[in-house]
Amino acid sequence: MQGLLAQRSSCTISRSNIATKRSIARITPVVRATTDAAAPKPKPKAPQQMLVYSPPHPLIKHWLAILRSEYTPSPMFRSACAELGRLLIYEAVREFLPTMEQQVQTPLGEVADATLVDPSRPIKIIPILRAGLVLLEQAGQVVPFQETYHVGYVRDPATLQASAYLNKLPARLSPEDLFLITDPMLATGGTIVQVIDDIVARGGRAENIRVVAVVVAPPALKKLADRYPGLKVYTAMIDEQVNERGYIVPGLGDAGDRAYGTPH
């Protein structure tokens, strides 16, 4: 994973490389071959790449700095995490929320064309407990129609393997469902991969998933890129490494403990 740096623009991560780009990668559709000799040759299918987007916004940097500081008390930590969640979710649902075209009557008695979020297709929001809940505290301001399904995972401190203790996902999901997963930190990638695996096993599609995190690390990004190259991740920062305890460095500590005032 050489050359991975925190960027102020979007980053695409594929199975074989990590590169910086300033726009979301678009996948060119496959052109089917034909027997007509005069027909143009089909273009090769562009490889899918995982997108990691770190929005270059001063407020995102400000709230990240508050979260990083060891002197930030729990109430302020939680408030900063909620603010950062709102900003990142705003970016994540850009061109992702399903919309419909309508007309509305204005106070001047005129009719205006209007675009509204489609209430018939609420986004399925999946917070990974505990800390994933904090990122959602202001989500209602940017996602007007949503369904929330909680999942809980605990990581073994010795093996760093995550195991589920709560799963409220529906037994069956539709390929058309849209998902937003929140987890403040993606360190080794074990938990987030299990959650996405579960969504896909129930009928969801990785291409319809957005992940929102505060900080992410190369091991998690590499694991996600190898398994789900079409995924999109939104984060405040890509940190450099994960230590032997499985914590992101420089990171911000244990987000759940800091948010709820329950230090080890």
**Is residue 157 pLDDT above 90, yes or no?**
no
Under the banding of pLDDT at 50, 70 and 90, the label for residue 16 is very low
Q: Are 228 and 237 in contact (CB under 8 A)?
A: no
Of 41 and 207, more confident: 207
pLDDT per residue over 70-91, tens digit each?
Answer: 999 999 999 999 999 999 999 9
pLDDT per residue over 226-256, tens digit each?
Answer: 999 889 999 999 998 999 888 899 999 988 8
- Region 167-176: mean pLDDT is 94
> What is the C-alpha to C-alpha distance for residues 155 and 150, in angstroms, rounded to an integer?
17
pLDDT per residue over 97-154, tens digit each?
Answer: 999 999 999 999 999 999 999 999 999 999 999 889 999 988 888 899 999 999 998 8
Neighbours of 84 (CB within 10 A): 26
How high is the mean pLDDT of the chain?
A: 83
Neighbours of 130 (CB within 10 A): 19
pLDDT at res. 4: 40
The amino acid occupying position 92 is A
pLDDT per residue over 184-199, tens digit each?
Answer: 999 999 999 999 999 9
pLDDT at res. 40: 54
Cis peptide before 55 (omega within 30 of 0): no
pLDDT at res. 3: 38
Of 14 and 228, more confident: 228
Neighbours of 69 (CB within 10 A): 13
Of 221 and 230, more confident: 221
> What is the C-alpha to C-alpha distance for residues 166 and 31, in angstroms, rounded to an integer?
44
pLDDT at res. 41: 57
Where does residue 70 rank: exposed (0-12), middle (13-18), buried (19+ CB within 10 A)? Answer: exposed
What percent of the chain lies above the pLDDT cut of 90?
61
Provide the whole-model pTM. 0.80
The first and second tokens of residue 5, run together, are 């740096």
